[in-house]
Amino acid sequence: MGATERTKKLVSLGVVLIIGLLIITGLGLEYQDKEDSPVQEYLEENYEETGAVNLVESVLLDLRAYDTFGEVIILYIAIAGVIILGKELRKNKDPGGEKR
């Protein structure tokens, strides 16, 4: 039983490695062309476009604003869940119950 478990693990490890290699070579991630990549272009023109000195902020709110929007929505949904649960718990608790 132990041997089959080990072979299973080894096979899955090999599969993961092969898929990773395929993704890296297939997408051309093994080297990055630093000179003429669009990111480099953005870094150079960042100040004229957004007027923000802080590069991180300009990326967060201009180039990757979708990403920030998604973060905000995730936070909103999580906190909506917490508020709904909290109100339900508060409603169900008897008023003379134990004090926390």
Partner 1 sequence: MRSPIVRTSARVISPFLFLAGLYFAAHGFLLPGGGFQGGVLLASGAILLLLTHGREKVIRLEENIDWFETVGLVIFLVAGLIGLFIGGAFLYNLSPGTPMWCIVLDVVIALKVFAGILALFIYLFGLGEVRGC
Q: What does the binding site for partner 1 look like in residue numbers (CB under 8 A)? A: 48-54, 56-58, 60-62, 65-66, 68-69, 71-73, 75-76, 78-80, 82-83, 85-87, 90, 93, 99-100
Rank residues 8 and 93 by Cβ distance to partner 1 and give the closer one. 93
43 touches 63 (CB < 8 A): no
For the CB of residue 34, give the shortest distance to partner 1 in the complex, in Å: 24
Rank residues 9 and 87 by Cβ distance to partner 1 and give the closer one. 87
| Nearest to 20, CA basis, from 29, 11, 9 | 29
């096979």: which residue's tokens?
A: 11
């000195």: which residue's tokens?
A: 53
For the CB of residue 63, give the shortest distance to partner 1 in the complex, in Å: 9
| Measured distance CA(3)–CA(48) in Å, rounded | 62
| Measured distance CA(53)–CA(19) in Å, rounded | 40
Rank residues 22 and 69 by Cβ distance to partner 1 and give the closer one. 69
